[in-house]
Amino acid sequence: MEICDRYGRTIVDIRVSITQHCNLNCIYCHHEGYHERSNSVKRAEMTAEEIQRLVSVSRRVGIKRVKITGGEPLLRHDVFEIISKLSKLKGINEVSLVTNGVLLDQDTCDRLKYEGLKRINISLDTLDSQTYFDVTRKNMLTKVLDGITHAQNSGLNPIKINTVLLKGINDTRIREFIEFAKKTGVILQLIELMTFDENNDTFFNRYHVDPSPIEEVLEGIAKHIEVRQMQQRKRYHLNDGTVIEIVRPMHNSAFCANCKRLRVTSDGHLKPCLMREDNLIDIITPIRRNVSDEEIYQLLLQAIALREPFFKE
């Protein structure tokens, strides 16, 4: 059954962080809006069974799709088991994953596909190796580019490339990305840089790019523009078949009004909004006490009741 929050939004997606660990150190990372308060957070990851239980009950509130994230989800030794368990749940139509792509060798991609992964997003903010190092502090560009090829070979299509727009780093090189998308057939997803406190964020103020001029250019060259239900994201279809999606979360009331997502932190807290850390609900303690499905369901309802658009009209 679909359940609406107080703002009439149904909840269809759940975004589950399965670890806080990462093998890159991106200069802009928002850590899925969850900042470690102590080392214990790193140790307290939900197990595959706990994630399965939570997602299983979440079907009762209308969840149909699961996105696995992190940290870097492929660092979890049991990531295949997690995907296998979730993709077998009746009523879950899609299990997808967002990764930095560093660990995507051919065997990994084949196994992800085999266990039931439907789609993959691969983060890539630059096609230049020095800039890649400057952004991530690791020399891994070749591995990521190979990872994209491996994912395609495994049939993990469509592949989306997540590119965070960063002033002076990649904002003048959008054409190169479009060429890359055309050549490889990936969907290019350009994401506006986010912050949780723009007044006190010098990094944000230095690197934030307003996507409007890019959208204007795309409007001029697109043969068709689609507005997706999810967060009113615009998808531009070019004549040559290239697809570019723009994600504009900042000060975008339409984005929030169409958010259908609940989040779960790696240590088992329900998170009603990416932008807030003050209204989390501990779900892992009850799950570890082996409470009934009904109690887990009630906690999911509580989290949904706390949902509120961060940016409003």
Residue 299 beta carbon to ligand SAM: minimum distance, rounded to whole angstroms: 25
Stretch near ligand SAM under the rule CB under 6 A, chosen from 45-53, 191-199, 228-236, 259-267: 191-199
Task: Output the CA–CA distances (angstroms, integers) from residue 44 to 19, 66, 201, 268, in the order listed.
Answer: 9, 21, 29, 8
One-letter amino acid identity for 245? E
Interatomic CA distance for residues 162 and 196, integer angstroms: 20
Residue with Cβ nearer ligand SAM (33 or 286): 33
Q: Tell me how far apart the alpha carbons of residues 258 and 229 are, in angstroms, rounded to a whole number.
A: 7
**SS percent in the chain: helix, strand, coil, step 5:** 40, 20, 45
Q: Give the per-residue contact string, 125-144, with ligand SAM (x = CB under 6 A; - = no).
A: --------------------
Of residues 99, 108, 154, 265, which one binds ligand SAM by CB under 6 A? 99
Phi-psi region of 155 (alpha: psi -120 to 50; beta: other; left: phi over 0): left
Closer to ligand SAM at the Cβ: 56 or 99?
Answer: 99
Alpha-carbon torsion (137, 98, 296, 9), positive or negative: positive
Q: Which of 16, 19, 65, 70 binds ligand SAM (CB under 6 A)?
A: 70
The torsion angle over the Cα atoms of residues 305, 2, 259 and 126, rounded to 10 degrees, is 130
Q: How many residues touch ligand SAM (CB under 6 A)? A: 17
Residue 69 interacts with ligand SAM (CB under 6 A): yes or no: yes
Query: Would you say 69 or 252 has its CB closer to ligand SAM?
Result: 69
Angstrom distance (rounded) from CA 267 to CA 41 = 6
**Residue 123 in contact with ligand SAM, rule: CB under 6 A:** yes
Q: Please check whether residue 97 is in contact with residue 65, taking contact to mean a CB–CB distance below 8 angstroms.
A: no
Kindly indicate which of the ranges 29-37, 45-53, 166-174, 227-235 contains the residues binding ligand SAM, using the contact rule CB under 6 A.
Answer: 29-37
Residue nearest to ligand SAM (CB): 162
Which of the ranges 5-13, 139-147, 190-198, 222-230 carries the binding residues for ligand SAM, by CB under 6 A? 190-198
Do residues 201 and 173 lie in contact, with contact meaning Cβ atoms separated by under 8 Å? Answer: no
Per CB under 6 A, 98 contacts ligand SAM = yes
Between 260 and 263, whose beta carbon lies closer to ligand SAM?
Answer: 263
Contact footprint for ligand SAM (CB under 6 A): 22, 28-30, 32, 69-70, 72, 98-100, 123, 162, 164, 191, 193-194
